[in-house]
Chains A and B, each alone.
Chain A
Amino acid sequence: MTTAAHSPAIENWRPPARRAAAIAFVVGAALLGLCLILALFAPQRVFQAYLYGYLYWWTATMGCLALALLHNLTGGAWGSAIRPFLYGGIATLAVLAVMFLPLTLGLPQIFEWAHFERFDPALAQDDPILADKVNHYLNIPFFLVRAVVYFVIWFGAAAIARRGARRASALALSMVILGISFASIDWGMSLEPHWFSTIYGGLFLAGGAVSAMALSIVSVGALSPPLLPHDRRSADVTNDLGNLLLAFVMVWTYFSFSQFIIIWSGNLPEENVWYLRRSVHGWQWVAIAIALFHFAAPFLLLLSRDLKRNPKTLMLVALGLLVMRSIDLFWIIVPAFENHGWTGFLLDFLALAGIGAIWVGVYCWSLKPLPEAGRHHAKRSAKRKGAVA
């Protein structure tokens, strides 16, 4: 083994053609334009679909940010291999911040609590619990202030993620985790403003880690064949990536199942409504599909060592998980809205694809051979490998 096992491959690695990014931008603009036209007819449904699509890509970005910070703390070949892709994901933060703005226009269309003013005496009469929340937490001004705070945290953390200082990364990771948790409460949980669950933020954290890891594996498999000559060492790296994906899938399952079993056992009306709403009108089949294909199938497949050592087969599992992430979020978010039938659901996936095309465009556009910190990591691992070999 030469001193720099992957280094020549990494140095020669070229990011995907910017043309791919340009095509993605055009597709995204077209799809979002279509959404805009449809918004003339059904503004409420379009805003709701937009929120769903937005949350999917937001969790992916958050996962990339958290994993990059985590890698600054732990080190490891897995992170050096996917760092360019994690940076690509982090680079979408700016476009996510911009794409958040349309949501702010439609808050009353999306959130029940946004229909009310603070200290509305009629609401206090009809629904004192909601009134209390509207007065102190779930109101448009405070919601916007919090969103600004979250984005400040994430932009700050993104800068730290690139520099890679350990203690700063640890602090940044803690803040990012708090930001994701509270943002998921604001943007997801408050759709059903009476419902609450302390592990809800955890579901988004674990889901984001699955998304980011799956995305990185797909990118490794699709975009960087030179990183993956079929030697033993690169198979070890893909094996590690597969193990981490498996670990995150298990954490996600653990959180999801814990929430379910605790609420099921308690069977309190204020909590079980969330699951009741998601177990009728066909949603129960979605739930079963999630259990089978977001947990059982990937879990069993990812136990196989051969599968994990082959970037192509691992990529297929990761692709499947990226699809299932959208189904999982669909099941978490969309039942909160009034049921609009199949055409309404098509709109959800239209928005998901539109935002996704823009996201993927930015992602591809900003992929660099290896940003500075990545190069630093590669050098460090090369040096260490030199010491071993």
Chain B
Amino acid sequence: MSTLQENPPPSSRRGPIIDPDYNFGSVTDKISSIVLTPGTHMGWWLGFGASFLLVMVMLWSIAVLFARGIGVWGLNVPVGWAFDITNFVWWIGIGHAGTLISAILLLLRQDWRTSINRFAEAMTLFAVSCALLYPLLHLGRPSYFYFLIPYPATHGVWPQFRSPLIWDFFAVGTYGTVSLLFWYVGLIPDLATLRDRARNRYAAIIYGILAMGWRNSARHWMRYQKAYLLLAGLATPLVVSVHTIVSFDFAAGIVPGWHVTIFPPYFVAGAIYSGFAMVLTLAIPLRAAYGLQGLVTERHLDNMAKVMLTAGLVVAYGYLMEAFMSWYSGNVFEQYVMLNRLQGPYRYTYWALLICNIIIPQLLWSRAVRSSPIALFILSLIINVGMWLERFVIIAVSLHRDFLPSSWDMYTPTFWEWSLYIGTIGLFLSLLFLFIRLLPMISIFEVRELLVEEAHRESE
């Protein structure tokens, strides 16, 4: 593996990974001060307050849903899945970038991952939390969710193991667990740093408990590195497996527009696409707000933009194959799915999706765009919208006109669906604001390690 790192791609000529003015002390000061400085910025309070307000909207929507049932949503007979599953897939997809950055790029020894992995992992966890809400809420009787778990109950009811929905339960459950472990294990040395530097007694105690007795001994580090690599190895297949199984939720069915063999890799690429877009959406304002431009440098943005461009091209390949095969198949239903996307009542969503996901992101070929944070921020928002539309088009637009015209129907989201969606965005942002204030958003010890490596390289 080490040879992969000896020949870094030529992009290393463009700017350092970390601002060379940083040293051990200043990195630690810079990152830990965001957490340990007493008194909180007005900006943080405003952001957190607004997000928390949206959490209230979410709770309100859930309360209404529980009180009145899923009839408050706009679902009907052909369109049994719409906003709920669209949002589930959207959130789950966003999470993938975190795992890719933290696990796969670690195994590939891509050292530029170091400044962004921590908050990308946090983003994964929060996105998975938002995602998990939807299938549970959509059950109709969420209190019976444990029926999904195959346990030897006296009522003798077992889940249908041939159904991808039960695979999904395992896939997402594993994903959530491994992501949490990976994130927490990664935090331990930094929690110890915070424990040692905290001047507030309560903070020191809390960080101390969380640091689980980390004393920075060589033996600790040895075991730590081994555990971290093992967790990375465990997390790596999850980058592919989770969204593959999400894609099976659709592809295993026979609805035209769902039953598509390219779905697994195309969903995974879409997940990485939207996930990197979300990392950029978060990283660009954060680095500006906290003055982290020396740690999350233009190299990071450039590399993420390139990953995004690649993933976007794979997604475009998926669209192309889907469109071509729907015609080539000669199957009238398959052909109609495409026609309906292009010309049907929801045509605006499909055209908007092509513009957001395929056409506009081609700007990323330009180095000028990749090195402009503002342009990248706008592009990342556009891609987030585009990927949401993609899921809506696949799920709701395919369902609303399936086989028999007599059973076609239109779907219109209700107020409660919008409010729940906006509410989960609030939940995601609130968790993120808390994370920024309470935990180091950039991995202190890994950046220090990187500084040593860089210095080593320079000196020789």
Contacts and interface: CB of A to CB of B under 8 A. Distances in A.
Interface of A: 73-78, 80, 128-130, 132-133, 137, 166-167, 170, 174, 177-178, 181, 185, 194, 196-202, 233, 236-237, 239-240, 243, 254-255, 258-259, 261-263, 265-266, 268, 270, 380-381, 384-385, 387-389
A197 B3 contact: no
Contacts of B162: 265
B413 interface: no
A133 B330 CA distance: 8
Contacts of A128: 330
A74 B110 CA distance: 12
Given A199-B261, A261-B248, A266-B252, A77 B329 contact: no
Secondary structure call for the A interface? helix
The 10 A-B pairs of least Cβ separation, nearest first, read A129-B330, A198-B262, A265-B252, A77-B3, A258-B264, A75-B9, A199-B261, A236-B3, A198-B321, A199-B262
B4 A78 contact: yes
Given A167-B365, A240-B3, A388-B6, A198 B322 contact: yes
A130 B3 CA distance: 52
B460 A262 contact: no
B4 A76 contact: yes
22 contacts: A75-B8, A76-B4, A77-B4, A129-B330, A130-B330, A133-B328, A177-B317, A181-B321, A196-B329, A198-B262, A198-B322, A199-B262, A202-B265, A254-B240, A254-B265, A258-B264, A258-B265, A262-B248, A380-B10, A381-B6, A384-B7, A388-B457
Interface of B: 1-4, 6-10, 162, 164, 240, 244, 248, 251-254, 259-265, 313, 317-318, 320-322, 325, 328-331, 365, 457, 460
A2 to B, nearest CB: 14
A312 B420 CA distance: 60
Contacts of A75: 7-10
A78 B4 CA distance: 8
A377 B418 CA distance: 54
A262 B265 contact: no
Secondary structure call for the B interface? helix
A268 B254 contact: yes
Given A181-B321, A265-B252, A202 B1 contact: no
A110 B147 CA distance: 54
Contacts of A261: 248, 252
Given A74-B9, A202-B265, A266-B259, 16 more contacts: A75-B10, A137-B328, A196-B325, A196-B328, A199-B264, A200-B261, A201-B321, A236-B1, A254-B244, A258-B265, A262-B251, A265-B162, A265-B248, A381-B6, A384-B6, A384-B8
A69 to B, nearest CB: 13
Nearest to B244: A258
Given A177-B317, A262-B248, A381-B7, A202 B329 contact: no
Contacts of B260: 198, 262
Nearest to B260: A198
Contacts of A129: 330-331
Contacts of A73: 9
Contact of B253 (A80, A254, A266): A266
Contacts of A388: 6, 457, 460
B7 A132 contact: no
B330 A387 contact: no
Contact of B1 (A181, A196, A240, A266): A240
Contacts of A233: 3
Contacts of B322: 198
Contacts of B254: 266, 268
Contact of A262 (B240, B261, B318, B320): B261
A239 B244 CA distance: 28
B6 A258 contact: no
A239 B313 CA distance: 30
A385 B6 contact: yes
B6 A77 contact: yes
A177 B251 CA distance: 24
